[in-house]
Amino acid sequence: MIDGDSSEYNFITEEIQKLKLDPVVLTCEIGLRRGLGSKTIMDAVISQGVEHYRHVAIDPYGDLKYKHYDDKDPYVCDYNDQMRMETVRELYKYKQFAYFEFLDEYYFETMKKGYPITINGNVYLKETYNVVHLDGPHTSEAVHNEINFFASRMTDNSLLIIDDHDTMKLQSVRWFLKKIAFEEVRKGERKLIFKRST
């Protein structure tokens, strides 16, 4: 079952529709859960008729105990293996979907040179992302680490989306993103979207 535990998914669709996408597109979501974020991103990119496209979703599930928010102690949420099976089964209906049962740090270590995409029988490393949705651990530290990985790996005219932005301290994030040519283009109660200017 595809579902979302946030809101303002239309913001994602509308901002992606404004992008001029390359012939080869790579997008990513940290924190898959019930899959609506990934589905929304894929639908918006696919609607633009991109020829070569891969969407990467990263979520370990597995009833892990970890710190979800700055102001709460670590706890186990409902991200269990049953949820993983139900969600991934639905999203694999998209040929563009690639799922990694990883912690985000492990993905960063293994994919730091790029993501392999096969085009016309040849494998290419796609080093840059067009859209990144940060919807995993909603702590200031986790988001800082994620942005540190993706910032140098995002194209011009790309989107960085932070979910549950009001639960973390973002002053230094805003400062850093501004320094590397990302400007805030959309702010809702849950979602905050930055775009890298060309």
Sequence spans of domains, the chain: 9-184
Does residue 103 sit in helix, strand or coil? coil
Q: What's the pLDDT tens digit per position in 118-142?
A: 999 999 999 999 999 999 887 888 8
- Could you tell me how far CA 108 lies from the centroid of its own chain? 13
Per-residue model confidence (pLDDT) at position 162: 95
- pLDDT of 6 strictly over 90: no
Eight-class DSSP state of 69: B
Per-residue model confidence (pLDDT) at position 75: 52
Percentage of the chain exceeding pLDDT 70: 91
Per-residue model confidence (pLDDT) at position 152: 93
- Mean pLDDT over each residue of the chain, to the nearest integer: 90
d(CA 163, CA 97): 21
> Which range has the worst mean pLDDT, 16-25, 105-114, 171-180?
171-180
- pLDDT of 78 strictly over 70: yes
Fold of 9-184: Rossmann fold (3.40.50)
Per-residue model confidence (pLDDT) at position 137: 80
- pLDDT of 74 strictly over 80: no
Per-residue model confidence (pLDDT) at position 30: 96
Q: How far is CA 187 from CA 11, 53, 122, 139, 164, in A?
A: 9, 27, 40, 18, 11
Please name every residue paired with 192 in a beta bridge, in sequence order, or none if there are none.
162, 187
Per-residue model confidence (pLDDT) at position 70: 63
To which H or E segment does residue 111 belong? none
The H-assigned helical ranges of the chain are 9-17, 36-46, 81-91, 104-110, 140-150, 171-179
- pLDDT of 69 strictly over 70: no
Q: What's the pLDDT tens digit per position in 41-60?
A: 999 999 999 999 999 999 99
d(CA 47, CA 41): 10
Question: 137 or 184, which is more confident?
Answer: 184
Per-residue model confidence (pLDDT) at position 67: 60
- pLDDT of 103 strictly over 60: yes
Per-residue model confidence (pLDDT) at position 79: 76
DSSP 148-178: HHHGGGEEEEEEEEEESGGGS--HHHHHHHH
d(CA 84, CA 59): 9
